[in-house]
Structure 1
Amino acid sequence: MEIKHQENSQKGSFYVETDGTLLAEMTYSFAGIDKIVIDHTFVSDILRGQGVGNLLVDAAVSYARDNSFKIFPICPFARSVFGKVAAYNDVYIR
């Protein structure tokens, strides 16, 4: 499954689409020059239960590490994943 990424100067998203249909998405906003705020996660019923939400979080973590960002998750789903996965602590802002 391919996780795609798009961004502009203020916000971005990691997402999955098939034939132009958005099936999953995690959105974020930039907070200063070194932080992103994950504010929303959506996974369609078609993909639910397949770990796609976790893949979106993992893509955000990889992006943060590659760009020396920290992540503040205000989305309840993302916050719960960060709270459970100790390997993400290097980028996690509580």
Structure 2
Amino acid sequence: MSDEIIDNRARNRYELTVDGFTAHVDYARKPGVITFIHTIVPEQLGGRGIGSRLAQFALDDARRNGEKVIPQCSFIAAYIKRHAEYQDLVLA
């Protein structure tokens, strides 16, 4: 499995390609805020923790960038709920 998650700013998404399939978290950015819109993990990659790896990377990147988060995506919202260390990132 590739460990390289990239921020593909041209497509507004974080991407991880594994075994020829690309999982991604789509986002929209405004100054100081990133909205996570949708998380897609191809069926062929299911059950391997790839969605969680993407969520963790995206949230860590938001923190590094000093951004607040709007978790419109239900997967990202659930990840934040399960990982209290990211709750401070959520835009009130």
Q: What's the TM-score once normalised by structure 2's chain length?
A: 0.85
Distance 1:18 1:54, change over 3 A: closer
2:81 corresponding residue in structure 1: 83
Contact 1:15–1:22, Cα closer than 8 Å, also in 2? no
Cα RMSD after superposing both structures:
1.8
Contact 2:25–2:54, Cα closer than 8 Å, also in 1? yes
Contact 2:6–2:15, Cα closer than 8 Å, also in 1? yes
Using the TM superposition, give the Cα deviation of residue 17 of structure 1 relative to its aligned residue in structure 2, in angstroms. Answer: 2.0
- Structure-to-structure mapping, 1:47-62, within 5 angstroms: 47-62=45-60
Contact 2:15–2:23, Cα closer than 8 Å, also in 1? yes
- Structure-to-structure mapping, 1:1-94, within 5 angstroms: 1-8=3-10, 12-18=12-18, 21-30=20-29, 32-93=30-91
Using the TM superposition, give the Cα deviation of residue 90 of structure 1 relative to its aligned residue in structure 2, in angstroms. Answer: 2.4
Question: Percent identity of the aligned residues?
Answer: 28
Which 5+ residue runs of structure 1 have no aligned equivalent?
none
Using the TM superposition, give the Cα deviation of residue 92 of structure 1 relative to its aligned residue in structure 2, in angstroms. Answer: 2.0
Residues 45-75 of structure 1: CA deviation (Å, up to 9, x unaligned): 1211111111111111121111100111111
Contact 1:26–1:38, Cα closer than 8 Å, also in 2? yes
Q: SS at 1:87's partner residue?
A: helix
Q: What's the TM-score once normalised by structure 1's chain length?
A: 0.83
Count of matched residue pairs = 90
2:67 partner amino acid: F
Higher helix content, 1 or 2: 2
